[in-house]
């Protein structure tokens, strides 16, 4: 069945072309301001054609959403070689913040855009779950070394993630204007270091 095979490859190729165009415009103009017509005309096809390859705009969004997580997880995986769990935890934060700075638009897609509430419970968000589990595991390791004693694992992990996300969210939505003296980058960097020094006493 060499033809069917090639057919499938062509189909995947087309999907890739659409995603490439979508990524380019999504990450430039944001989710809301990117139209299906924009994406279609980027690859010189008619708007309707996209609907043959993707269910709707939100399916394209979810594809890029997953892409973002894969990118972030790849960055975090590098830290596996850091032996001490607490050192690794601190580095995770730094990498997370760096990721948000370097990939503002992916970050928006991953954590800020109101997702069209689909497949979130079924199969689609496995990769986000995976990231959380990674964090839970890390906290557990720290606790095994006598850190964060008496803290509930899940609440503590949620708090960690929240603090990181808060820093990145304010950055991504430019809500840092009220701290006029400091640059965005410094606020994130040294703001996080403040948090770290709290962690060190816990």
Partner DNA sequence: TCAAAAATTGAACACTGTTTAAAATTATTA
Partner DNA sequence: TAATAATTTTAAACAGTGTTCAATTTTTGA
Contact region with its own copies (CB under 8 A), list: 4-12, 20-28, 60-68, 186-194:
186-194
CA neighbor of 95 nearest in space, from 24, 167, 200, 155: 167
Task: Report how far residue 95's alpha carbon sits from residue 78's, in angstroms, rounded to the nearest whole number.
Answer: 10
Alpha helices (H) along the chain: 2-29, 36-42, 47-53, 57-77, 85-102, 104-107, 126-144, 153-172, 184-201
Contact region with its own copies (CB under 8 A), list: 45-53, 77-85, 86-94, 179-187:
179-187
The binder of 78, among its own copies, DNA, none, by C-beta within 5 to 8 A per type, is none
The binder of 38, among DNA, its own copies, none, by C-beta within 5 to 8 A per type, is DNA
Least distance between its own copies and beta carbon 139 (Å): 11
Task: Report the 10 Å Cβ neighbour count for 61.
Answer: 20
Site membership for its own copies, residue 73 (CB under 8 A): no
Contact region with its own copies (CB under 8 A), list: 16-24, 37-45, 56-64, 115-123:
115-123
What six digits make up the tokens of 43? 């690859």
CA neighbor of 136 nearest in space, from 156, 120, 165: 156
**Which residues sit at the interface with its own copies, rule CB under 8 A?**
30, 32, 111-112, 114-115, 117, 120-121, 125, 128-129, 131-132, 151-152, 154-159, 161-167, 169-170, 173-179, 181-182, 186-187, 190-195, 197-199, 201-202
């Amino acid at each position: 069945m060499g033809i069917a095979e090639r057919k499938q490859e062509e189909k995947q190729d087309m999907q890739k072309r659409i995603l490439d165009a979508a990524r380019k415009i999504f990450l430039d103009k944001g989710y809301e301001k990117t139209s299906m017509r924009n994406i279609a005309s980027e690859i010189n096809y008619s708007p309707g054609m996209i609907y043959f390859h993707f269910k709707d705009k939100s399916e394209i969004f979810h594809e890029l959403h997953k892409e973002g997580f894969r990118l972030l997880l790849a960055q975090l995986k590098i830290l596996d070689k850091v032996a001490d769990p607490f050192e690794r935890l601190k580095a995770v934060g730094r990498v997370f913040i760096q990721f948000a700075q370097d990939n503002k638009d992916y970050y928006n897609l991953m954590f800020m855009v109101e997702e069209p509430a689909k497949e979130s419970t079924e199969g689609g968000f496995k990769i986000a779950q995976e990231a959380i589990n990674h964090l839970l595991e890390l906290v557990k390791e720290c606790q095994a070394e006598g850190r964060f004693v008496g803290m509930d694992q899940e609440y503590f992990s949620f708090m960690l993630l929240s603090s990181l996300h808060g820093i990145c969210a304010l950055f991504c939505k430019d809500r840092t204007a009220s701290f006029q003296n400091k640059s965005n980058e410094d606020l994130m960097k040294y703001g996080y270091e403040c948090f770290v020094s709290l962690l060190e006493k816990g």
